[in-house]
Amino acid sequence: MSSRTTIAANVAGASVLAFLVLPIFAVVPASFNNASFIRLPPAAWSFRWYSAFLADPEWLMALLTSVKVATMAAILSVVLGTLAALGLERVSPRVRAWLLAVVISPLIVPVIMTGIALYYVLRPLGLHGTMLGLALGHTLLAVPFVVVNVGVSLRGVDPNCLRAAEGLGASALLAFRTITIPLILPGLAGGAAFALITSFDEVVVSTFLAGVQAKTLPVKLWETIRVEFTPVTAVASTILIAFTLLVFIGIKLVSRRSSQRHGGNVG
């Protein structure tokens, strides 16, 4: 009876997931449309709009800018988020709860308000319309994901491992590099993955911070949809989906290898 309940629950969950996700993947076949307008299913399959995307320097520049900004934001988020997570583990639970609420506040505040605030802060500093300004704005949104992921991994670290390293004469930095980092690697990879995806898919904050020389792919996609709705926008959407899937596959592989390595060491 329990097995039937489990199967029914899995089927129900899969059905809900399919209902939510499958409409998103509809843009993938639409990107292979040969016509000048989006049609599902395509009457004829073609790479026409992929060629148009690759031949347009504005689309390529937007894609390159998104990759650069996402990379910068991920690096900044992992560094700052890891330091914040380490600090939160060293304070009392009551103080930790208050500080954690401050750290994750960017996830609670409406994104449009965050975009407006960043615009008024970064513009006087000359960072508006720059990749650095975009990366800083995306970092603000991505740090909470890193803090949560790394915090979960830190709570799974056995303190006796660090005490043993210190007892053998290892410095705090050496113990952190050789013991803590390998043990929290899944959390670091998960936080980096969420930071990359958050930055690569962000459109609201990017709209406020983007400029002529620094325009991300989602911003370019939004501007194009407002003017014309051709299958080239489906190509851009497909690239966003493919990037997200590749990042999640990468984090899954990193987590699996880390688990196998630690399991082998324990055995």
Q: Determine, yes or no, domain membership for 19.
A: no
Q: Answer whether 194's CB lies under 8 Å from 186's CB.
A: no
Beta-carbon count within 10 A of 36 CB: 11
User: Structure pTM?
Assistant: 0.82
The answer to whether residue 75 scores a pLDDT higher than 90 is: yes
In total, how many domains does the chain have?
Answer: 1
Cα gap 235→53, rounded to integer Å: 7
Distance of CA 196 to the CA centre of its chain: 3
The answer to whether residue 267 scores a pLDDT higher than 50 is: no
H or E segment to which residue 41 belongs: none
Q: Determine, yes or no, domain membership for 53.
A: no
Residues contacting residue 60 through CB under 8 Å, at least 6 positions apart: 53, 54
Q: Determine, yes or no, domain membership for 15.
A: no
Question: Which domain range does residue 211 map to?
Answer: 60-262
Cα gap 122→183, rounded to integer Å: 37
Buried b (16+ CB within 10 A) or exposed e, 147-177: bbbbbebbeeeeeeebeebeeeebeeeebee
Label residue 262 by pLDDT band (50, 70, 90).
Answer: low
Q: Determine, yes or no, domain membership for 11.
A: no
Q: Determine, yes or no, domain membership for 33.
A: no
The answer to whether residue 256 scores a pLDDT higher than 50 is: yes
Q: What is the mean pLDDT of residues 73-82?
A: 92
Q: What is the CATH number of the domain that holds 113?
A: 1.10.3720.10
Q: Determine, yes or no, domain membership for 111.
A: yes
Q: Determine, yes or no, domain membership for 40.
A: no
Beta-carbon count within 10 A of 239 CB: 19
Cα gap 192→75, rounded to integer Å: 8
Q: Determine, yes or no, domain membership for 156.
A: yes
Strand-pairing partners, residue 33, are 45
